[in-house]
Amino acid sequence: MPAERAAWYHSRVSDSAYVASGASAVPAAVPTAIATKTVTSRHSALVRVTHWITTLCFFALLVTGAEIVISHPRFYWGETGNDLTPTLFKLPIPASRRLVPTGYKYVLPDANGWSRYLHFQASWVVVLTGLLYAISILFSGHLRENLLPGKADLSWPAVSTVISGHLRFKRPSEAEAWSYNVLQRLSYLFVIFVLFPLVIWTGLAMSPAFVSAVPAAVNVLGGQQSARTLHFFVSLALLLFLLVHVVMVWRAGFRSRMRAMITGTIITGRAGTNPAGSNTERT
């Protein structure tokens, strides 16, 4: 055949993929898009287990703590405080006990017995879980690699960039979403090494049995009522952290983050081309 026709013929053969079947050649289907998946390890089993145990305990502590506060929504400073002493501040809610002067003419249902029992049990579970987590991140390298910010991260340009992105509700990129920025690192460190130890300390300072053995634990705080007031504010700080944490997880991708914290892996995908028309996925 002429050279021009042969070149046209061979170019057509290369453009449309042919698959040999017996003695005949059948053109393949039109290329279709498939998903190319990459599975990456994200959270260790220990991190996931301690995370969910802490989540359940925190929910139990939040519910039971609210019930304990409702039984006496008045806060004091010092060693003593009761219905007849002046308050540092009081919550504008009715109490669950008639003797507590809150100004309301009705009381809420009282469940102070079971709430104190469950609060005590959940607190010890979260204390032991927190100790296990703290020890594990020290020896596994998780603290050094993922939580401690570097010198470059602590520079004002880096910090201001992260802050401005949050203020403008800027959605992080895929790479940024799967790594902790400087604000996240500082927040986690503050919660792990400041708020959690402080909420445990103030909780123990309200225990007569513990105070009788370690009286300095409450004396440093100024008394048992001071410990109760501080315990309340630290709990509010932890609740605020939880709300911000949930919102940030939702904005970054709730399903992918939940999958990572349950299975320990993340799956990232991109569109590929399947010349044979197959809908299989590569992992």
Can you read off the two tokens belonging to residue 77? Answer: 């400073």
Q: What integer is the mean pLDDT of 78-106?
A: 91
Selected residue with higher pLDDT from 254 and 217: 217
Selected residue with higher pLDDT from 98 and 272: 98
Cβ atoms of 29 and 277 within 8 Å: the answer is yes
User: Within a 10 A sphere around the Cβ of 78, how many other Cβ atoms?
Assistant: 13
Question: What's the whole-model pTM score?
Answer: 0.74
pLDDT at 103 over 60: yes
**Closest C-alpha among 145, 146, 133 to residue 49:** 133
What residues does 74 pair with on adjacent strands?
A: 90
The amino acid at residue 123 is S
CATH superfamily of domain region 35-274: Transmembrane di-heme cytochromes, Chain C (1.20.950.20)
Q: What integer is the mean pLDDT of 257-276?
A: 66
- The predicted structure's pLDDT at residue 229: 97
pLDDT in tens, 156-192: 887 887 778 767 666 665 655 556 778 888 898 999 9
Sequence ranges of the domains in the chain? 3-31, 35-274
Q: Where are the beta strands (DSSP E) in 79-235?
A: 89-90
